[in-house]
Amino acid sequence: MALQDRAAGLRRATRATMLEKPCCDPVEDAGDVAVRGEVPRVALVGNPNVGKSTLFNALTGARQHVGNWPGKTVHVARGTWRPEPTAYTDGLTLIDLPGTYSLVPRSPDEELTRDLLVDHGLDGRPEVVVVTVDAANLARNLYFLSQVLDTGVPVVVALTMVDVARARGLKVSAESLADALGTPVVAVLPHQGQGLDDLAEAVCAMLADPRPPRPADLGSALEEETAALTSLVAVGLGERYAPRWLALALLCGEPVPTVPEGLREQAREAGRRLLPADPESAAPESAAPDSTATDSPDRPADLGELPEDDPETLVAEARYAWAHRVLAAAVDRRAADRPTLTDRVDRVLTSRWLGIPVFLAVMWGVFTATTTLAVPLQDGLQALLDGPVNRAATAVLEAVHAPGWLSGLVLNGLVGGVGQLLTFVPLMAIMFVLLALLEDSGYMARAAFVVDRVMRLIGLPGRAFLPLIVGFGCNVPALAGTRILAHRGHRLLVGMLIPYVTCSARLTVYVLLASVFFGSRAGTAVFAMYVLSILLVIGIGRLLRRVLFRDLADEPLVLELPPYRRPTARVVGMQSWQKLNAFLRTAGGVIVATVAAVWLLSAIPLGGGQGGFGKVPLEHSVFGGTARTIAPAFEPAGFGDWHSSASLITGFVAKEAVVSTMAQTYEVQQPGDNHHAGSLGTALRSTFERTSHGHTVPAVLAFMVFLLAYTPCMATLAAQRAEIGTRLTMLGTGIQLAVAWLLAVTVYQIGALLW
């Protein structure tokens, strides 16, 4: 009871803040002339991926705004719909509510959709709802519609995907559907703009003469109990909730705040009356499956105690039975019962023998594209910056007689930083386009299905494979790739694991060190780094799951597979551009600022007499001083020397810069080919021999391990911040540094005993 009161209190509080701030409605903020309350509200609801948002965009055009619903952290798009000709000269406020499969919410988004339909105490409730119904998947969409009909809010059905259904041999008639439902039905093709005027007419007619919809007929037994419960709840709670919805919710045992216990008990009793009275008749049937279920290794043993039937199942059954009756009346499916092209393709692409090879081939393609395909583009951008941009900047700086420090800052700091950022742009663009292609074509869902079992070993869904694989090329697009994961917890976990995937920039350093120190066994040493990287992902993943993501449930795979389709250039282009734009905005500043900061530190002399600003040798700059200060921390790992720590500091900014920093610290030429290190190799050998007191091999291995496990680069941090937030990024960085240091020390200390 106390809990319920608290919930009610919270609700009241939320409502109060909403009333205080009527300005929250952004549509009116935007200078709409309408007085609040006079513009009718129309909500769009429906299953995910049925063209709901496309319809919203087609109806509102540019007159829309995405923002949090007042008092909630749920993103809702609202816009002004100006249908013509109409009595509503100020247009209608159209609310695009989050897509959902049912009115039993599983997330705050779905909760908002339900509350706006059933809770009469909420502000901003729609006068009419437009339910988008997918003609190509009618049964499931009608199931959801049947729940919306229970809320009593006037309904207009927008029938989408009629063309897709027709291509599959399903002829869906809007007229027969309207007759069967007793609700206006308008077929729409939002992409082509078809049916929008008819939809406007139906909605305006409904607004002018609002009629509660005819609820779905759930069969005599269920209807009788529902009617009795409806009249019971209508007495005290009818003001607050839609009565029929509440009756059915209570019958199914859903938690609804402020409902007295007495009513709940009556609902439970009604539920018991509906279940088959004779338990013995069900017993022999359930005996055999019981024995098989308990000896099944991948199911908990308590399943034998689950009820065979419950009111929830009965209601779902009744809703689907109704949906099939409606279907039979409205759909001609004579041509539809042959296997579709999608089915035939799936038989190959998900099969036992070809599923994994096809998946690996696709992943290889993504990997290749994000690595090799990006290189010429990156080189082109780099050449543009080094050549024309640099020359132009130099010319401008000379023309204004800029002092030496300013030229240095602009040319090395700013242009260098922007250059660093721009090298990621082709990578990210390719990654986003591939993501959109895989999603839009329908293959992504299949890939998740194919490798589901493999990824489950580390407690992640099948889709997590893609970002992790891409990480071997570059961590930055890999982080962007975490967006394919539907569950936020999974996104955060994978986002924290990606830095441990060894990227190709780290490979260049491994190759240099391994060829200097390990000679013919260089390949083995580099391979060991890849094995260690995979072990780290698995190990840290299991650890984080146990410590940080304990509530991350091991959900079974129940995944609806969309039909394969040709991705449209418009959708792919738009999605990719939006994501690239967001990346540049969130990550751009951080990357440029860090590169400029490192340049500044290396240009400022430490103490006097070492040369002026920008002319100081690295050893005597603030940067060199910092490297010397942190060097002792690496003594237990066998590489406590400022040359090593300096390269690790630049490695924090970008692993590509590690080798060049090493060369700079020794004031030698950076080797053109990392396999032949030349004078840098000689210098490195003498340093590591000195710092490790002769245990060179374990010290170098420790250095490589540290390089593998600590923060990959500034761009990764920036991308991480964009995907998983500042707090987790900082926590992740701390864990990386700790893990890297501990591993390096362990490798060196144990290694020193052996070599």
Chain contacts with other proteins (rule: CB under 8 A): 101-102, 104, 136-140, 143, 165, 168, 170, 286, 289, 292-293, 296, 298-299, 303, 306, 308-309, 312-313, 316-317, 320-321, 336, 339, 342-343, 346-347, 350-356, 359, 445-446, 448-454, 556-561, 563
Nearer to other proteins (CB atom), residue 239 or residue 285 = 285
Cα separation, 56 vs 552, whole angstroms? 34
Q: In angstroms, give the least distance from the CB of 230 to other proteins.
A: 22
Give the C-alpha distances (Å, rounded to integers) separating 325 from 35, 139, 174, 219, 222: 44, 10, 15, 12, 17
Q: How far is the CB of 300 from other proteins (least distance, A)?
A: 8
Nearest to 500 by CA among 661, 250, 739: 739
Counting other chains too, the contacts that 607-610 makes at CB distance below 8 Å and 24 or more residues apart are none
218 Cβ neighbours under 8 A, 6+ residues apart: 226, 315, 318, 319, 321, 322
Least distance between other proteins and beta carbon 562 (Å): 8
Note the helical H segments in 259-300.
261-274, 279-294
Q: How far is the CB of 339 from other proteins (least distance, A)?
A: 8
State the Cα torsion 711-715-719-725 to the nearest 10°: 60
Q: Which is nearer to other proteins, 38 or 353 (CB)?
A: 353
Give me the phi and psi of 92, to 5 degrees please: -120, 150
Interatomic CA distance for residues 678 and 672, integer angstroms: 10
The neighbouring-strand residues paired with 13 are none
Q: Using the minimum distance from each CB to other proteins, give the nearer residue, 323 or 657.
A: 323
- Straight-line distance from the first to the last Cα atom of the chain, in angstroms, rounded to the nearest whole number: 69
Task: Between 67 and 563, name the residue whose CB sits nearer to other proteins.
Answer: 563
CA–CA separation, 243 vs 233, rounded Å?
6
- CB nearer to other proteins: give 356 or 538: 356
Nearest distance in Å: CB 353, other proteins: 8
Nearer to other proteins (CB atom), residue 450 or residue 699:
450
Nearer to other proteins, 140 or 620 (CB): 140
| Contact in structure between 669 and 679 (CB atoms under 8 Å) | yes
- Cα 134 to Cα 58, 124, 167, 512, distances in angstroms: 17, 27, 14, 58
The nearer residue to other proteins, 112 or 170, going by C-beta atoms, is 170
Structure tokens at 397: 């700086």
Q: Nearer Cβ to other proteins, position 345 or 584?
A: 345
Which C-beta is closer to other proteins: that of 320 or that of 549?
320
Closest-CA residue to 584 (of 478, 428, 689, 729): 428
Tokens 């260089």 belong to residue? 522
Compute the residue count for the chain: 755
CB nearer other proteins, residue 32 or residue 217: 217
Cβ(473)–Cβ(530) below 8 Å:
no
| CB-based contact 46:110 (threshold 8 Å) | no
Nearest distance in Å: CB 166, other proteins: 13
1 vs 3: CA distance, rounded Å:
5
Distance CA 544, CA 535 (A): 14
732 — phi, psi (to 5°)? -60, -40
Distance set, CA 191 to CA 54, 171, 188, 566, 571 (Å): 7, 20, 9, 15, 11
H-helix or E-strand containing 393? Answer: helix 390-399
| 728/706 Cα distance (integer angstroms) | 21
Closest to other proteins by CB, 5 vs 555, is 555
**Comparison of 393 and 559: residue with beta carbon closer to other proteins:** 559
Q: Which is nearer to other proteins, 309 or 332 (CB)?
A: 309
Q: How far is the CB of 248 from other proteins (least distance, A)?
A: 13
Q: What is the chain's Cα-based Rg?
A: 32
Euclidean distance between CA atoms 44 and 129, whole angstroms: 6
- Tell the smallest beta-carbon distance from residue 459 to other proteins (Å): 14
Q: How far is the CB of 305 from other proteins (least distance, A)?
A: 11
Query: Judged by CB, which is closer to other proteins: 268, or 620?
Result: 268
The pair phi, psi for residue 167, each rounded to 5°, is -60, -25
The least CB distance from residue 347 to other proteins, in Å, is 5
Give the contacts of 72 (CB within 8 A, at least 6 positions apart). Answer: 14, 108, 112
Closest CA to 591 of 406, 717, 407: 717
Find the shortest distance in angstroms from Cβ 553 to other proteins. Answer: 9
| Cβ at position 3, least distance to other proteins in Å | 20
Residue 316 Cβ vs other proteins, minimum distance, rounded to whole Å: 4
CB 452 → other proteins: shortest distance, Å? 6
Complex with other proteins: residue 359 or 583, whichever CB lies closer: 359
Minimum Å gap between C-beta 213 and other proteins is 20
Residue 140: CB minimum distance to other proteins, A: 5
